[in-house]
């Protein structure tokens, strides 16, 4: 009889996270939005309400079951620190309720970079698999070295043109989208920059991390990355004192979901285009994918194999 011994740590268990059918994002808050005052917030929520209602109506669950839908809202405390949770959060809740909306979960954008000793942004970086366009010769450093990710072949730089000047080169060539439909929509996304040895993640990159957290696809050595904390009795005066993810509604459905839907102002369209580029070149952990597929099958919930197909948007006209 052959016997094989393995350490338990060699096969880390993939933690299962609670899942809703839909994670409905009803907005982001940046410093300029808050500075514009409560009227600006109410106007934004009023624009979101019809689309949020439509998303709820379109979300289906197996016959005889109530769709599980949770709402979330993201506050930028990564690029700028403004006001305080004690002032901002009650105002957000009040303005949302005045428009008939409930914010179930409130998240800090800095949690997409680092939270409770975990680094979600680094986890995503470690699984980026750059798609090389046809004819790539490996002369360009990888994304992990440059901090740039594109959806195709970049236009050759000046050094290339000078090197080929005597070789009959045809000169400038346009960039080309890898999977273009006749004409290209080429995009080159900056994922981060570094100054004095300190890395700052870009807004589009953190938005991609945010989507993966909402989809329940990130794990840190098999464990859940972002766990919601209960709403505090009073909100603190420091953003660092506020948990990365707060469950404002004690009766809320789970934060993560099989699918996400975001209702955003049109100014976020370029950012979310970049999010698509990142997600298309990110490799999920197979055990996590299999776990979600199995649970979806048990519930009778259709779930696309392609991660990007699980993400939906509507962009309204508010600048």
pLDDT tens digits along 81-136: 889 999 999 999 999 999 999 999 999 999 999 988 899 999 999 999 876 666 56
Nearest to 176 by CA among 199, 151, 201: 151
Q: Is residue 247 part of a domain?
A: yes
Helices in the chain by DSSP H: which ranges?
Answer: 31-35, 38-58, 85-98, 120-125, 143-146, 158-163, 203-214, 269-280, 286-299
Dihedral of CA 246/249/250/252: which sign? negative
Residues 6 or more apart in contact with residue 130 via CB below 8 angstroms? 142, 143, 149, 281
Nearest to 102 by CA among 207, 266, 231: 231
Q: Per-residue pLDDT for 166 more than 80?
A: no
What is the tens place of the pLDDT at every residue in 199-235?
999 999 999 999 999 999 999 999 999 999 999 999 9
Shared domain for 30 and 151, answered yes or no, is no
Stretch among 136-150, 183-197, 220-234, 295-309 having the lowest mean pLDDT: 136-150
Q: Is residue 10 part of a domain?
A: no
Structure tokens at 189: 């996304």
Model confidence band, residue 5 (pLDDT cutoffs 50, 70, 90): low
CB 17 within 8 A of CB 216: yes
First-residue to last-residue Cα distance in the chain: 70
What is the tens place of the pLDDT at every residue in 237-280?
999 999 999 999 999 999 999 999 999 999 999 999 999 999 99
Domain that holds residue 152: 143-193
Shared domain for 91 and 239, answered yes or no, is yes
Shared domain for 186 and 220, answered yes or no, is no
Q: Is 231 helix (H, G, I), strand (E, B) or coil?
A: coil
Shared domain for 105 and 230, answered yes or no, is yes
CB 176 within 8 A of CB 135: no
Q: Is residue 201 part of a domain?
A: no
Nearest to 91 by CA among 28, 44, 48, 34: 34
195, containing H or E segment: strand 192-195
Shared domain for 187 and 274, answered yes or no, is no
Domain count across the chain: 2
Q: Is residue 281 part of a domain?
A: yes
Nearest to 225 by CA among 73, 17, 68, 77: 17
Q: Is residue 1 part of a domain?
A: no
Structure tokens at 317: 């006209």
Q: Is residue 202 part of a domain?
A: no
CA 194 distance to own-chain centroid: 21
Shared domain for 78 and 220, answered yes or no, is yes
Percent pLDDT > 90 in the chain is: 67
- Structure letter (DSSP) for residue 282: B
User: How far, CA to CA in Å, does 63 sit from each of 143, 207, 261, 295?
Assistant: 45, 34, 22, 16
pTM here? 0.89
Model confidence band, residue 146 (pLDDT cutoffs 50, 70, 90): confident
Q: Is residue 60 part of a domain?
A: yes
């Amino acid at each position: 009889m052959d016997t094989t011994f393995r350490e338990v740590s060699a096969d880390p268990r993939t933690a299962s996270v609670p899942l809703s059918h839909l994670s409905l994002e009803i907005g982001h808050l940046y410093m300029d939005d808050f500075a514009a005052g409560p009227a600006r917030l109410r106007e934004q929520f009023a624009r979101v309400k019809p689309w949020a209602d439509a998303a709820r109506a379109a979300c289906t669950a197996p016959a005889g079951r109530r769709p599980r839908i949770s709402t979330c809202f993201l506050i930028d405390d990564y690029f700028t620190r403004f006001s305080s949770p004690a002032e901002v959060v009650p105002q957000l809740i009040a303005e949302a309720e005045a428009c008939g909306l409930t914010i179930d979960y409130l998240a800090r954008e800095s949690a997409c970079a680092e939270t409770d000793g975990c680094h979600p942004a680094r986890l995503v970086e470690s699984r980026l698999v750059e798609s090389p366009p046809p004819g790539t010769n490996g002369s360009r450093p990888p994304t992990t070295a440059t901090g740039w990710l594109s959806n195709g072949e970049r236009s050759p730089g000046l050094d290339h043109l000078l090197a080929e000047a005597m070789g009959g080169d045809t000169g400038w060539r346009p960039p080309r989208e890898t999977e273009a439909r006749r004409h290209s929509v080429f995009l080159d996304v900056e994922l981060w920059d570094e100054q004095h040895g300190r890395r700052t993640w870009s807004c589009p990159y953190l938005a991609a991390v945010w989507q993966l957290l909402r989809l329940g696809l990130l794990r840190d050595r098999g464990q859940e990355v972002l766990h919601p904390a209960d709403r505090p009795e009073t909100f603190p005066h420091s953003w660092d004192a506020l948990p990365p993810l707060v469950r404002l509604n004690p009766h809320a459905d789970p934060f993560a979901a099989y699918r996400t839907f975001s209702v955003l102002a049109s100014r976020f369209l370029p950012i979310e285009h970049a999010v698509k580029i990142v997600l298309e070149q990110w490799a999920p952990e197979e055990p996590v994918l299999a776990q979600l597929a199995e649970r979806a099958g048990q519930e009778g919930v259709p779930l696309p194999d392609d991660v990007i197909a699980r993400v939906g948007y509507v962009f309204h006209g508010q600048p």
